[in-house]
A and B are shown apart, each in its own frame.
Chain A
Amino acid sequence: AQSVTQPDIHITVSEGASLELRCNYSYGATPYLFWYVQSPGQGLQLLLKYFSGDTLVQGIKGFEAEFKRSQSSFNLRKPSVHWSDAAEYFCAKNTGGFKTIFGAGTRLFVKA
């Protein structure tokens, strides 16, 4: 079965520090991949998406992600974290039809 794995349940970074959230997926040479963010009490908002082309994709709010086929990874990065980035982040993958599967999420804490 296809899967999306986010190895880190939670991460704490200092404000202004860089951030990398890990995501690994199974199955699919060139998958549709996504990152979503969920602020407390809110729905999920799409940060960025990848299907093909440049393996470094830019998203909203200063986030970027890099697709690495050899590692089956799609890690999310931000050079300098702001306190407002504290949220839960979900990596997701289209399964080839009309469905999407999600990782379990990584909760980001930002300390002053």
Chain B
Amino acid sequence: DAGITQSPRHKVTETGTPVTLRCHQTENHRYMYWYRQDPGHGLRLIHYSYGVKDTDKGEVSDGYSVSRSKTEDFLLTLESATSSQTSVYFCAIRDRDSAYNEQFFGPGTRLTVL
């Protein structure tokens, strides 16, 4: 258990509204990631962070922004939600003690945009 929680676990919102998802970790990992999971696509990286206030884009970053003001929290914001952003969102951390760079995942947030 990598001590990762995500909130909310489920959310339904309307097109055009802003949405913020939170990822919280308790073990002081430096690297944190946001993915979206869609059928037929596996997991695709949205944004990642390599330290407080240090973030970078992944392969599907359009329409998303992130912030990391403290080590334990990594926020994902959909600035103006669209139906194409209906998905399951996973947060992950990279195990700082491993030479393998494996990642460990939170339980996910199911987001529906109507």
Question: When each residue 13-46 of chain B gets 1 if its CB lies under 8 Å from chain A and 0 otherwise, what string results?
Answer: 0000000000000000001000000001111110
The answer to whether B99 touches A51, judged by C-beta atoms less than 8 angstroms apart, is: yes
Interface residues on B, range: 20 to 34
B48 within 8 A of A: yes
Chain B: minimal CB distance from A66 (Å) = 17
Pairwise interchain contact A99-B58, C-beta atoms closer than 8 A: yes
Instruction: Report which of A36, A49, A98 forms a contact with B48, defined as CB distance below 8 A.
Output: A98
Nearest-CB residue, chain B, relative to A45: B105
Q: Provide the bound-state CA to CA distance between A51 and B41, in Å.
A: 25
Interfacial chain A residues near B50, Cβ < 8 Å: 98
Size class of the contact patch on chain A: 20 to 34
Does residue A42 face the partner (Cβ distance < 8 Å to B)? yes
Q: What is the CA–CA distance of A105 and B38 in the complex, to the nearest angstrom?
A: 10
- Chain B, residues 71-114, CB within 8 Å of chain A (1/0): the string is 00000000000000000001000100001111111111000000
| Alpha-carbon gap, A51 to B98, bound state (A) | 11
Q: Chain A's nearest CB lies how many Å from the CB of B22?
A: 15
Does A32 interact with chain B (Cβ within 8 Å)? Answer: yes
Which residue in chain A gives the minimum CB-CB distance to B35? A102
CB <8 Å contact, B43 and A51 = no
| A43 with B90: CB separation less than 8 A | yes
Would B42 and A90 count as touching, CB distance under 8 A?
A: yes
Q: A99 with B99: in contact, given A44-B90, A46-B104, A104-B42 (CB under 8 Å)?
A: no
Binding site for A on B (CB under 8 A): 31, 40-45, 48, 50, 58, 90, 94, 99-108
Closest 10 CB pairs of A and B: A102-B42, A43-B105, A102-B43, A44-B105, A104-B42, A94-B101, A43-B107, A49-B100, A105-B42, A43-B108
- What are 27 pairs between A and B in contact, CB < 8 Å? A9-B40, A32-B102, A36-B105, A42-B108, A43-B90, A43-B107, A44-B90, A45-B105, A46-B102, A46-B104, A51-B99, A51-B100, A90-B42, A90-B43, A98-B48, A98-B50, A98-B94, A98-B101, A99-B45, A99-B48, A99-B58, A100-B101, A101-B45, A102-B42, A102-B43, A104-B40, A104-B42
